[in-house]
Structure 1
Amino acid sequence: MRKFLTLGLTTLLAAGAAAAVGTAAHAGSQLEFGACPADVAQVYAKLKCATVNVPLDYSRPFGARIDVLVTKHASTNPAKRRGVLFVNPGGPANSAVMAAGKLTHPSPSGHTRMPAEVLAAYDVIGIDSRGTGHSQPLSCVGDDYWSELQPDPDRPEERDKSWERWKAFAKSCADKNGDVLKHTGSRNVIKDMDHVRTLLGEEKISYLGYSYGTYLGSAYAQTYPQRIDRMILDSTMNPVDQQMWYDNSTGQVVAGVARQRTYLEWIAKYDNVFHLGKTHDEVNAAWQKLLGDFRQRPRGPRKNVGAVELMDVYIANLSHELYWEPLAKAMADYVLRGDETAVLDWATPGGGAAGERMIAGMISIACVDSDAPSDRAKIERDFTELARTSDFAWYNVSIPSACANWHAGHDQRIVPSGRNLPPILMFGTEGDSATPYVNTVAMHKQLPSSVLVTERGSGTHCVFGAHQSMVNWDAQRIGGDYLVNGVLPNGDTDIAPHPLPVPTPATAAAARPAVLSPQS
């Protein structure tokens, strides 16, 4: 991720192929797009939606079927339209339906995450993966399962309780969903994608995937290489690892140590705002007091905010800077003034059906997609070792615990060979704690036709199409030029980091947003 942009962006890619993918290849869509569900339409009025009925099991096309929701943001200039751009925001249960809106919807200042020339060139397509979002989401436990105080696995005396809770979750998933569960993995999602491509009347698709969405994109490209036009993979998973999700869980802990230091040093830099100390160690002492107090005595009216709930918010927001300032001010409210209001506003679990289904989809896809260790002793040895250098090692044991007890089996992950693929653009940041940079490098090695653009000096999760406050204009230019004109850097390239936020003393600790995600 770092190095500074070389300006020789002169390589024109696959010019002949590009012409074949343009408007002339658009055979006409068989999908009738109309009104979207109310929660989508209220936020992104320009999106149109269609429901597609697909086989639950593609080996039995006349058997059970399920519905998946597809959304479209039409090209803003049909004369310049060159095809469709499928998008996936990762998660693995984040909504691609909503991502299509987020990437195309202008902010109050008129900024769109996707460059204007890209919006002219493509219909942007989002498909909620089966079992998630608006595509018949899975449910594994009761709506209030996650609004209760969670056992703290960092405390040895609570590890049995934590393990049994995830074991019960895995069993309930199997009991409630039956055979549906084993068909929720990415192998079936990419078949859904290709079915939608056919219904859209397109010979090829272009693709933009973030985080888990990079694995989905690489799996699609490996399975259907002749159907890829242009592809951007931003902040990638590592499909070379046999235990892909387990290794990502442990890798996040290692990468998160440096990212946490960056955040605490940023707070120290602005002691005139936060007053938590002028050095990393001083600010870390404040953080340790907050964490220790909540670990010792859960807070809130229902006494359901403890160390796990606090860590959930803290870890989620290390990966990007959008909420660094209000979180630091919430910490200051508690440590300096004894006011826990803002901390509770952020960390109190919401519960409810939406949150439960989000977790059900995320865990189910992760557990189905790759092999996972089933030996509890091995898992606990690994996380005990990680905890020697990390505050939050044990708070990343959720996916390993669930997958160790999974009843629906695990698919063989799809490892890309890179054969027969057009030039691909990749982005990564060297300090990414959500999909560590070593994963991006590993995927890059698997894809010989890829060019890697690294945002050096940055730890933000995802680069291209970022929120306006974290935008990297070099990345925007490179990504836009590639998607529209087929132009890539002459080789792997480093770009300077986007600036970190500058806090202001007048800004109060802000309330938790409705949805927390790296792409918020």
Structure 2
Amino acid sequence: MYIRRSPRPRRPRTAAASLLATAALLVSACSSGSTTTSAGGAADAALAALPQSTPSALAPYYEQKLSWRSCGVPGFQCATMKAPLDYAKPGAGDVRLAVARKKATGKGRPLGSLLVNPGGPGGSAIGYLEQYAGVGYPAEVRARYDMVAVDPRGVARSEPVECLSGRRMDAFTQTDTTPDDRKETDELVDAYKNFAEGCGAHSADLLRHVSTVEAARDMDILRAVLGDRKLTYVGASYGTFLGATYAGLFPERVGRLVLDGAMDPSLSARRMNLDQTAGFETAFQSFAKDCVRQPDCPLGTRGTTPAQVGDNLSAFFKKLDAHPIPTGDAAGRKLGEALATTGVIAAMYDEGSWGQLREALTSAMKENDGAGLLVLSDSYYERDAEGRYSNLMFANAAVNCLDLPPAFSSPDQVEKALPAFEKASPVFGEGLAWASLNCAYWPVRATGEPHRIEAKGAAPIVVVGTTRDPATPYRWAQSLSRQLSSARLLTYVGDGHTAYGRGSDCIDSAIDTYLLDGTPPPQGKRCS
């Protein structure tokens, strides 16, 4: 699946994070948020709130004191927080969670802590805080709030899920996800099985306890130990699902919540994957229209239609499938269809990357040099120049495969669904359908199901949607805003994944005002 995380910021003040994604379980959303079962189903049940009183067995966690220390990054402090590995058995073992903060920098009445999460699942909130949020949020917000992040269980610095070595990950990311025959299908299935077995071998106990519900409960412990009566939070992409889950579990503890690039929790994995496939097609159509207006577009010239641009890109992918091209990579990797597709999809998250994509495609298509597309693909997977991968992809699969039953349980099911996926995206549909198969072989059964989140009694929650968002289609924001009893839908009419801090003064002003004085934007406000 391709992850839901906000892209690299276009300017210093941003709520976006580094560009990345993964070929683990793909996710997407439903057009209406209804409970139709036509594409895998959605649940009628709503997430139930937990009791307002803290169970005595959890008191030691809620009453713990954090020991802050220097992080090595100027201005930041770090600590380790404990949470129960299994909330049903609080005394049976703990999980250690990494926390970081940057104290409020200015005068004026302090507003407490502002917790941030860039999405994923699997994105490091602490890395995001240190690189962007701690300096990139508007000065007025940073002056009044302690900026805080916790890496969710299984992620980055919080007892990370581990699965494959760098060498084995290189092989995995090059696996053909558009199999042409039974042999290639078997090879893809084997790759998913090997990935799952690696996770099970290295992180067996942790895999059972990295759900979004558990991560949301961890956030409530953090809220308490920070001394905040209510949670103030900005979540992007998957971070919106985490934030909405918190609101559903603890509606009376909701402070000021911003959910930017919203997900729809009422959808099945298959429905989500199909809708996200359509989302990437929408983004590609925008790229195609822009590309042919540029003098350096390798996919067509002025007058070429988006459909023709798509055909030209598909033909290029097919060529790479048969004959990968050199990249100059130290590990000897060539650019095949899988890596090239990931590189193109990486650039769909942010229109600021379209120029880089044009250059990379030109080099690959006209000069037989795949280095540019490989750079985009590596940024997506968080692979460094030494061949090391972050645990992003491992955590992404672990959370998603626990949160929802698999989109597909066999190659036969994928093959039956291919027409629907290819209709949703003639360019990406086949590959994204097959990418939805990985959770079928996961070593741990899913504990979650699709559900609505109402959070009755919560304070106003701002839900942000971008009309041409590739990774979290706008329909998801519309659906989530209808589910949450106190939601205010804020719309950005434009391209890219997420909206806050990415160029719209209208969006930024509305969110900043909400964070600073608690006044949410009017329902249905639209910005461009």
Q: What TM-score do you get using the length of structure 2 for normalisation?
A: 0.80
1:172 aligns with 2:198: yes
1:480 aligns with 2:512: yes
Q: Residue type of the partner of 2:115?
A: F
CA separation of 1:344 and 1:354: change in aligned 2, threshold 3 A: closer
Superposed displacement of residue 297, structure 1 = 1.1
Residue in 2 that maps onto 1:372: 406
SS for the counterpart of 1:452 is strand
Q: Which runs of 5+ in 1 are unaligned?
A: 1-26, 107-111, 497-520
SS for the counterpart of 1:208 is strand
CA distance in structure 2 between the partners assigned to 1:240 and 1:329 by the alignment:
39
SS for the counterpart of 1:448 is coil
Contact 1:235 1:429 in 2 (8 A): yes
Residue in 1 that maps onto 2:444: 408
Superposed displacement of residue 339, structure 1 = 4.1
Contact 1:249 1:399 in 2 (8 A): no
Contact 2:233 2:243 in 1 (8 A): yes
Residue in 2 that maps onto 1:119: 142
CA distance in structure 2 between the partners assigned to 1:392 and 1:367 by the alignment:
22
SS for the counterpart of 1:441 is helix
Out of 456, 460, 467, the residue aligned to residue 423 of structure 1 is 460
Superposed displacement of residue 356, structure 1 = 5.6
1:205-239 superposed Cα distances (whole Å, 9 cap, x missing partner) = 11111111111111111111111111111111111
CA distance in structure 2 between the partners assigned to 1:412 and 1:285 by the alignment:
39
CA distance in structure 2 between the partners assigned to 1:316 and 1:332 by the alignment:
16
Contact 2:231 2:254 in 1 (8 A): yes
Residue in 1 that maps onto 2:420: 385
1:329 aligns with 2:365: no
Contact 2:409 2:437 in 1 (8 A): no
Q: Residue type of the partner of 1:363?
A: A
Residue in 2 that maps onto 1:9: none
Superposed displacement of residue 383, structure 1 = 3.1
CA distance in structure 1 between the partners assigned to 2:64 and 2:154 by the alignment:
25
Superposed displacement of residue 257, structure 1 = 1.6
CA distance in structure 1 between the partners assigned to 2:324 and 2:521 by the alignment:
52
CA distance in structure 2 between the partners assigned to 1:273 and 1:387 by the alignment:
24
1:202 aligns with 2:237: no
Residue in 2 that maps onto 1:223: 249
CA separation of 1:252 and 1:260: change in aligned 2, threshold 3 A: same
CA distance in structure 2 between the partners assigned to 1:76 and 1:383 by the alignment:
53
- Bigger CA drift: 47-56 or 265-274? 265-274
CA distance in structure 2 between the partners assigned to 1:290 and 1:156 by the alignment:
16
CA separation of 1:419 and 1:353: change in aligned 2, threshold 3 A: farther
SS for the counterpart of 1:70 is strand
Out of 312, 324, 329, the residue aligned to residue 298 of structure 1 is 324
Q: Residue type of the partner of 2:66?
A: L
Q: Residue type of the partner of 1:254?
A: A
CA separation of 1:120 and 1:169: change in aligned 2, threshold 3 A: same
1:431-474 superposed Cα distances (whole Å, 9 cap, x missing partner) = 11101111111101101311111111x121100123xxxx1111
Contact 1:426 1:452 in 2 (8 A): yes
SS for the counterpart of 2:89 is coil
**Within 5 A, what are the aligned runs for 1:15-414?**
30-36=65-71, 41=73, 45-106=74-135, 112=136, 114-148=137-171, 150-157=174-181, 158-241=184-267, 243=268, 245-271=269-295, 276-281=300-305, 283-284=309-310, 286-300=312-326, 302-347=332-377, 350=383, 355=389, 357-376=391-410, 377-388=412-423, 389-397=425-433, 400-413=436-449
Q: Residue type of the partner of 2:372?
A: A
**Within 5 A, what are the aligned runs for 1:432-447?**
432-447=469-484
Q: What TM-score do you get using the length of structure 1 for normalisation?
A: 0.81
Contact 2:469 2:497 in 1 (8 A): yes
CA distance in structure 1 between the partners assigned to 2:228 and 2:375 by the alignment:
46
SS for the counterpart of 1:51 is strand
CA distance in structure 2 between the partners assigned to 1:272 and 1:219 by the alignment:
45
Superposed displacement of residue 397, structure 1 = 4.0
1:395-453 superposed Cα distances (whole Å, 9 cap, x missing partner) = 32466322112221112246312301111111111111101111111101101311111
Superposed displacement of residue 34, structure 1 = 1.5
CA separation of 1:130 and 1:168: change in aligned 2, threshold 3 A: same
CA distance in structure 1 between the partners assigned to 2:436 and 2:324 by the alignment:
25
CA separation of 1:409 and 1:54: change in aligned 2, threshold 3 A: same
CA distance in structure 2 between the partners assigned to 1:72 and 1:271 by the alignment:
46
| % same residue | 24
CA distance in structure 2 between the partners assigned to 1:128 and 1:418 by the alignment:
24
CA distance in structure 1 between the partners assigned to 2:230 and 2:435 by the alignment:
34
Contact 1:170 1:405 in 2 (8 A): yes
CA separation of 1:200 and 1:394: change in aligned 2, threshold 3 A: same
SS for the counterpart of 1:404 is helix
CA distance in structure 2 between the partners assigned to 1:100 and 1:384 by the alignment:
42
Contact 2:87 2:214 in 1 (8 A): yes
Contact 1:139 1:356 in 2 (8 A): no
CA distance in structure 1 between the partners assigned to 2:114 and 2:276 by the alignment:
29
CA distance in structure 1 between the partners assigned to 2:390 and 2:295 by the alignment:
38
Superposed displacement of residue 180, structure 1 = 1.6
Superposed displacement of residue 256, structure 1 = 1.6
Contact 2:421 2:433 in 1 (8 A): no
CA distance in structure 1 between the partners assigned to 2:297 and 2:420 by the alignment:
36
CA separation of 1:155 and 1:372: change in aligned 2, threshold 3 A: closer
SS for the counterpart of 1:461 is coil
SS for the counterpart of 1:72 is strand
**Equivalent pairs, count:** 451
- Bigger CA drift: 345-354 or 200-209? 345-354
- Bigger CA drift: 149-158 or 363-372? 149-158
CA distance in structure 2 between the partners assigned to 1:275 and 1:247 by the alignment:
31
Residue in 2 that maps onto 1:21: none
Contact 1:185 1:365 in 2 (8 A): yes
Contact 1:100 1:125 in 2 (8 A): yes
SS for the counterpart of 1:147 is helix
CA distance in structure 2 between the partners assigned to 1:171 and 1:491 by the alignment:
47
Superposed displacement of residue 305, structure 1 = 2.4
CA distance in structure 2 between the partners assigned to 1:446 and 1:214 by the alignment:
13
CA distance in structure 1 between the partners assigned to 2:186 and 2:84 by the alignment:
40
CA distance in structure 2 between the partners assigned to 1:384 and 1:465 by the alignment:
38
SS for the counterpart of 1:49 is strand
Contact 2:119 2:237 in 1 (8 A): yes
CA distance in structure 2 between the partners assigned to 1:354 and 1:411 by the alignment:
31
